[in-house]
Structure 1
């Protein structure tokens, strides 16, 4: 009787088992990203202005119409120019000389950009050839692809700047010729043609109707809709984690998921107010398209997209729910479950995306851990699975 009573007494005093939820340590793909809303923008825009003062004819174009370099946009009938004094004529000559120097400088930048783009493309092709032999990983190949896209974008922008500089030089020379003709008593040109400096489309009409116009006054804005960039306003806390060349995944625009790469993180932040009325410091991040033009042909200027900045990714890694990890004696730990008993195990962790955390040491695939360990759970406690 005494032994039976002792057993019953021990059962009564035994701590009640703790109810827990379990999760399995899994191996699979994982990535750490920053998600923000972004907006597309035509990368290179040019505001075409009147080269001379006079009477402008109506612009017969609409927003969205395609233009090519040298295409006639409108005419300006110049007003009779007053005779230039020596100082004013010198200023006009200086502007023309400066435009010539700017064009030569940009042409040198184009040559440098061509060399960089060719080198990056050759490096990508070299790694692509090694992929079949499994000498390079998928991550290395993706990084090389993003790296090759950046100099290509810089080259396109440099060529656009070259066309614009040539147009500016022609406009400066036109102003100088008209002023010089007037000062020499010659009859100036009856009509000055305004032409497109670049290949692209009309983005905005500033002065469509005919009427009086001043030299330098804006007429219309053109740009290449095939050279889009993505502008994303990122929290300054997250912006410090980004760097040029980082991969970006674009979605939520109504088409397939697109690839892009970070080109520039603006060095200056600004204050913004969130939808909840919270003041935030944000930074503009500019990304270039990597996906082929055919996949995003329907995208235009000012379209909304969801931008996922890929900080880290792995195709196959050991991971555990982040909620299962807690701090113990300055280290990370989890509770494993063995024979309905909680066993504390110290682990070494890697990157975390909030939901899952990489585990580099301390656990094996398939092990059961407590998903949400409570403060009262201790090593050796009996547990029951819900």
Structure 2
């Protein structure tokens, strides 16, 4: 039989659970627009933007990703034939609008001549004032028609340009050499690269996650407790951290 002396002493009630650490604030960099994102993690010595997990980034200064416009889709035989026919029709409409402007311009010149002659006859009281007013009205009407025709011509030319643009094919030029073609995405916060979500070059939609950034020095400890255990924990209670590979931490 083992015996021991009973004595009063301190007693601690603890709730023990395995925990994990995580970065307190994680910033996910997403694609602002739909397009082709270039490869983010490139081999060492490769030209262009390159990031790897653990690299330091500076807010607003470090480029974390570069995006390019999506190349136009290929046209099948039927679609190309339809667009080519639409372009021919657009060219014909532009030619028709230009001819209409020439016709109205000639009418304006004639109306101005008629007005000048009517003004001369009116000064000698050869024609009544009504005929002079009629000549002025005719000139103003035809000038308004000329302005309308010029506006219509501009509309037809824009429609022609739209069809021509749809027929354009990729020129094969490397878009990365054109600094005006790309969207550079900067780091939203200083820290380090925690994860590269989209490492390879690919076409992504707007809002697709690309890179995660955070400060590994700003950590928090997370543990999952049962409900019966969680209700026993009060804010400000003492915490002991051990078994993490270092000395026991208390806080």
User: Greater RCO between the two (CA within 8 Å, min separation 6)?
Assistant: 2
TM-score by length of 2: 0.48
More strand by share: 1
More helix by share: 2
Larger radius of gyration: 2
TM-score by length of 1: 0.32
